[in-house]
Amino acid sequence: MRSVLIAKPGHPNTGVGRYVRMLDHGLREDGVEVMQVTPVAPPLPDAAYASLRRLRIDLRSFLLHYPLWANYPPADVYHVTSQNLATLLLLRRPTGRVIVTVHDIIPYMLRNDPQLCVYRTFADRLFDRLALLGLRRADHLIADSQYTRQCVVEQLGMEPGKIDVVHLGIDHQRFRPVAASPALYARYRLPVDRRYLIYVGSEDPRKNLGALLHALATVRQTCPDVALIKVGRAYFERERQRLLDLASSLGIGDAIYFLDDVPEDDLPALYSLATVCVLPSLYEGFGFPVLEAMACGTPVVCAWVASLPELVDKAALIFRPDGNNGAEIAAAIRCLLTDELRRQELAGAGLAQAANFRWDRTAARTCAVYHTNQHPGTSRPTIADSHAD
């Protein structure tokens, strides 16, 4: 079987970039001949792109994120590796079977929420909607989680039988307990005499970081040595500034370390040196950080919402978001900071839970979707809970 993975160029260390890289490797291990194709921007004159850049419109980047054209080599399966790339299917669909991976449709779900909407322009809103319309031209969809599958069915009216759930994996050779070296502390200017919380991700409003900062301020009233490591680029500059202003007003500005550019090789040590990993998100299609932290032996605190329950099961300390400025998050964090036995229990449970999520399983079940969709209309088994053997 020959598969073409259609993926955005660059960004190999993002969640989707990691997915493409590991899927490519796993499919090859399973005997699939794999090619990768990246969309191409329309062949407009450079002067046109330059003129738009002067108006702060990066049309080239925009049309690589929501592409309209790609060159398709001959293949049995064309696998569009992210739902936003499904705009390709509207103008020119490949002649073979088309499968699209849907990581989440959260921007569309929050389009009318003035606090959480991330569409910056009318074009963002339009092209995201066009991408979701493009999903209807696929033969089959893969969802990262049961939660994402349910969202696609309920929000877009897609047929449930057209969607299989295939959980993503993590790289267990990379993400494992690692002792943090003095050089690591020095590189990121982290004082060695502090206890750290860690959050990995952007400042997307749905990540609920304002509540985390309120929780940190509350925790520091009784545990003044606690600080927060925030890993990842902002991507939402206005939100970054809002968080900086909030931290200043709460008096915790010197207790937050913003690490924008962290090589993947440093992530396991940063997870490992943290006492607690916190993911306060209100919406997640698939939460890599909770699994990565667990694999590094770090106890996790997260919200009992969206896809997170099916990832963490009983291996995390959970809270239910209730709009109380982080009181529930603070209570969960303080519980782990003050109870060493509970931390050890969750660390062990987390290691066992994270072990269920492996890239070889992701590739094997993706390959099974390829094969069971080889002849449309034939009966096939459902590939449901992807970490159950």
Tens of pLDDT, residue by residue, the chain (389 residues): 999 999 987 666 678 888 999 999 999 999 999 999 999 877 767 776 676 666 566 776 777 788 888 899 999 999 999 999 999 999 889 988 999 999 999 999 999 999 999 988 887 888 899 999 999 999 999 999 999 999 999 999 999 999 999 999 999 999 999 999 999 999 999 999 999 999 999 999 999 999 999 999 999 999 999 999 999 988 778 889 999 999 999 999 999 999 998 998 999 999 999 999 999 999 999 999 999 999 999 999 999 999 999 999 999 999 988 766 799 999 999 999 999 999 999 999 999 999 999 999 999 999 999 998 665 443 333 434 444 44
By CB neighbour count within 10 A (0-12 exposed, 13-18 middle, 19+ buried), where does 380 fall? Answer: middle
Residues 16 and 153 in one domain: yes
What's the rounded Cα separation, in Å, for the pair 183 and 280? 29
What residues contact residue 223 under an 8 Å CB cut-off, 6+ apart? 195, 334, 337, 338
Q: Which domain holds residue 109?
A: 2-169+358-372
pLDDT of residue 57: 63
Give the C-alpha separation, 68 to 311, whole Å: 34
Contact (CB, 8 A) for 246 and 217: no
Token pair of 8 as six digits: 């955005």
Asked if residue 154 belongs to a domain, the reply is: yes
Q: Which residues, other chains included, contact 120 with Cβ-Cβ below 8 Å and sequence gap of 6+?
A: none
What pLDDT, on the 0 to 100 scale, is given for residue 52?
61
In this structure, the answer to whether residues 57 and 96 fall within a common structural domain is yes
Residues 275, 316 share a domain: yes
Put residue 61 in one of left, alpha, beta given phi > 0 → left and psi -120 to 50 → alpha.
alpha
Same domain, yes or no, for 220 and 126?
Answer: no
Structural domain contains residue 177: no
Written as six digits, the tokens of 199 are 């959050």
Number of domains in the chain: 2
Are 305 and 163 contained in the same domain?
Answer: no
Length of the chain in residues, anyone? 389
Indicate whether 231 belongs to any domain: yes
The Cα 147–Cα 127 span in angstroms is 23
- Specify if 388 maps to a domain: no
Task: Give CA–CA dist 48/53, Å, rounded.
Answer: 9
Res 153: pLDDT: 98
Q: How far is 20 from 165, CA to CA, in rounded Å? A: 17
**Helix 15-29 vs helix 359-372: angle between axes, to the nearest 10 degrees?**
70
Q: For residues 285 and 106, what is the distance between their CA atoms, to the nearest angstrom?
A: 8
- What single-letter DSSP state applies at residue 39? -
Residue 292 maps to which CATH number? 3.40.50.2000
**Does 259 share its domain with 325?**
yes
Q: Are 349 and 366 within one domain? A: no
- Asked whether residue 157 falls in the same domain as residue 26, the answer is yes
Using N-to-C axis directions, what is the helix angle for 288-295 and 340-354, rounded to 10°? 110
Supply the pTM of this predicted model. Answer: 0.90
- Non-local CB neighbours of 102 within 8 Å, separated by 6+ positions: 83, 135, 141, 142, 143, 144, 148, 152, 163, 285
Same domain assignment for residues 11 and 149:
yes
Whether residues 303 and 266 fall in one domain: yes
Q: Pairing between strand 300-303 and 226-231? A: unpaired
CA dihedral for 342, 295, 190, 199, sign (positive or negative): negative
